[in-house]
Amino acid sequence: MKSFFKLGFTFLIATLFLTACGSKDNASSKSNGKYAANQTLNWTEGSALATADLAKATDTLSFNVLLNTQEGLYRLDKNGIPRNALATKTLVSNNGKTYTFDLRKNADWSNGQKVTAKDFVYSWQRTLDPKTASQDAFYLYQVKNAQEINEGKKDLNDLGIKALGKYKLRVELTKPVSYFKKLLAWPLFFPVNETAVAKYGTKYGTQARYTVSNGPFKLTKWTGTNKKWTLVKNNNYWAKNDVHLKKINELVTESTTTSYELYSDKKVDETLLSGQQVKNNKNSKAFVKRLPTATTRLDLNQNKIPAFKNINIRRALSLAIDRRALTQNVLQDGSVPLKGLSQQEWVRIRKLSRHLMMRHMLKKQFPMIYKKRRNF
């Protein structure tokens, strides 16, 4: 930003939360694991759901819901490795620039229609169509002619994705992309049911009743503006036998104070923590700490206060801030002090290979950071 100076007052934000532990009395043995008798998860969210349209999604929560209600060619396993989902076989040719996929024939949409190769073609074309105005369309630019189409210079049919049959799909890239399979596990690359979009028009993805699913769950009870909704198991999902949860109740809470009270009253199964809550619970078995690649910084408006144009003044302010005291005594939320974007944690991130950066993006914490700082 031209009117701001990024002062070295930065710290990594920790995601800290409590999760409920299942009791022996409420568990039943099944296959090689133990599952609670009541397969209902009660979850809290810090913001309302913005959209269920993958072409319009930009925020973490929307993508999380899409990951639960939709399915693409691949899903990432617990180690971030792409595993076959709708794809059953993949052939990579043309020096890594052409991918040919065989699709499973037993995948259905929740409206009863089959998931086919044309659903992928339609989805990608729709996202890149300038009329859709997708903010994240640029992620598809590695596909042949994608950028030109998004800029209105070429026709949608020129896109490097073709249905070679009902269950065979070919994708052509502009150049080899080592992390392409990981991208395909991200909702932006998932298929879309054209019948549903044609039926609901501009309402598609704005409420639960204006959506269809091909993933493990279906979105219900979401009006587009309310602060609670439910994901229910999708019995049309091809791998429904591997889905043990029956439903996920999601509730937007205004603050961690509210969600913590709900957790303490056993009305929800997890809660984010902040401040004193962290200090009080850091020794609990239910305490979980996760350091995402997000930072908070102080920006100084040089246009409003000319003195901030003096680099020595900015340095003096930076040196005057006790970052350790700020994170440990004021924030008390597990945040880690930084002296700039090239300290230990950021050095580690920069050393990650490009495909691992995409893994972090797909694991829900990295999308916006990656979008803003693609020059890592």
The pLDDT of 257-281, averaged and rounded, is 88
pLDDT of residue 20: 66
The pLDDT-based confidence of 23 (bands split at 50, 70, 90) is: very low
Yes or no: say if 144 and 160 are a contact pair by the CB < 8 Å rule: yes
pLDDT of residue 339: 64
Among 196, 225, 194, 220, smallest CA distance to 208 is for 220
**How far apart, in whole angstroms, are the C-alpha atoms of residue 204 and residue 201?**
6
* Structural tokens at position 100: 């040919």
The pLDDT of 87-96, averaged and rounded, is 97
Using the 8-state DSSP alphabet, how is residue 209 labeled? G
DSSP H helices, the chain, are 60-69, 117-128, 146-150, 180-183, 194-200, 256-264, 276-281, 311-320, 323-325, 344-351, 354-362, 367-372
The pLDDT of 283-287, averaged and rounded, is 87
Has residue 4 got a pLDDT over 80? Answer: no
The pLDDT-based confidence of 196 (bands split at 50, 70, 90) is: very high
What domains lie within the chain, and their CATH numbers? 47-252 (3.90.76.10)
Has residue 28 got a pLDDT over 50? Answer: no
The pLDDT-based confidence of 343 (bands split at 50, 70, 90) is: very low
Q: Which of 37-46, 75-84, 269-278 has the lowest mean pLDDT?
A: 269-278
Q: What does the pLDDT look like over 124-156, one tens digit per residue?
A: 999 999 999 999 999 999 999 999 999 999 999
The pLDDT of 39-62, averaged and rounded, is 95
- Whole-number percent of the chain with pLDDT over 90: 63
The pLDDT-based confidence of 277 (bands split at 50, 70, 90) is: confident
The pLDDT of 104-115, averaged and rounded, is 97
Has residue 19 got a pLDDT over 90? Answer: no
Mean of pLDDT over the chain: 84
Statement: the pTM of the whole predicted model exceeds 0.85: no
Yes or no: say if 244 and 251 are a contact pair by the CB < 8 Å rule: no
pLDDT of residue 1: 33
